[in-house]
Amino acid sequence: MALSELVSDILAFRTYLRAERGMAANTVIAYSHDLDRYAEWAATVRLADYTAPTLSDLSRYLGFLHDERLAAPSIARHLVSLKMFYRFLRLEERANPSAVELLGSPKLWERVPQVLSPESVDALLASPRAADRFHLRNRAMLETLYATGCRASEVVGLRIRDLYLDSAFCKCTGKGNKQRVVPLGRPAVTALRGYLDEGRSTARDGEEFVFVSRSGRPLSRIDLWMLVKKHCRRAGLPTSVSPHTLRHSFATHLLAGGADLRTVQELLGHSSIRTTQHYTHVDRKRLKELHKKFHPRG
């Protein structure tokens, strides 16, 4: 369905909240902002039919919100806004009733982060081709995402001065402007050197961001998000994969390889180890599956 129809429905929903529900102006504004973000995302991914979203669609949107660095309470509020919106569409006989049910589904709210296998990561990192216009930049961005486990915003925010390629590490600026040092593996260092030496455009206005467009403009989180989607399609990976998936994969692969939880916490920039402990649950599930598959009494 056309984006114009979604925008029209959002405007009608705002009127409904004010005129029929009598909600306060600030509440209506908050719902509107959340739904405007949803409309922008729907246009970007070309959502097939917003009146009948699938669990996969909604999970992809959750991944996008994670990539936007929204805190868990903010993501929960966005889901509440969507639920209110789809209830309104159901009243208007404009949406499939299952949409509201999906938004209340534990499968959505308690969804375990998606993790790629090492083989799938290899396929993704190998997907930029020499014939591509920006293959050196794209390969370097993908390698940096997985090598560091950084958030999308931290990767696009990297500056030349943050790279220490001779020593194989970089400085990332995370939430609250906190900086941390993250190692870079040999493939990432090689990809970054190739890009900086041969493929990087001249930065515009003297800015020294690492990853820039052809005109020298720093790339945005959305640019990186779209880049990952493009190369996932090429590598034959699920469309639900996002930059945050590589962060999840980075942490899970480290723990599976024997890294201790405190080290992973420091590398991810988590202020609380409770956040990092979530990845032990992901890995534990994988171990249970392996045990069940291969143990005689699994």
Which tokens belong to 268? 């991810």
CA nearest to 165, candidates 149, 150, 143: 143
Q: Which of 107, 175, 214, 233 is catalytic?
A: 175
- Which residue do the tokens 């991944």 mark? 63
Amino acid occupying residue 45: V
Residues forming beta bridges with residue 218, ordered by sequence position = 212
Torsion sign across C-alpha atoms 187, 188, 191, 196? negative
Residues present in the chain in total: 298
Residue 6 · residue 46 · CB < 8 Å: no
Q: Which of 229, 244, 248, 253 is catalytic?
A: 244
List CB contacts of 278: < 8 A, sequence separation 6 or more: 113
Q: Which of 31, 50, 195, 279 is catalytic?
A: 279
Burial of 73 (0-12, 13-18, 19+ CB in 10 A): exposed
Q: Which of 151, 221, 248, 253 is catalytic?
A: 151
244 is catalytic: yes
3-state class (DSSP) for residue 180: strand
279 is catalytic: yes
Q: Which of 200, 247, 248, 253 is catalytic?
A: 247
151 is catalytic: yes
Report the catalytic residues. 151, 175, 244, 247, 270, 279
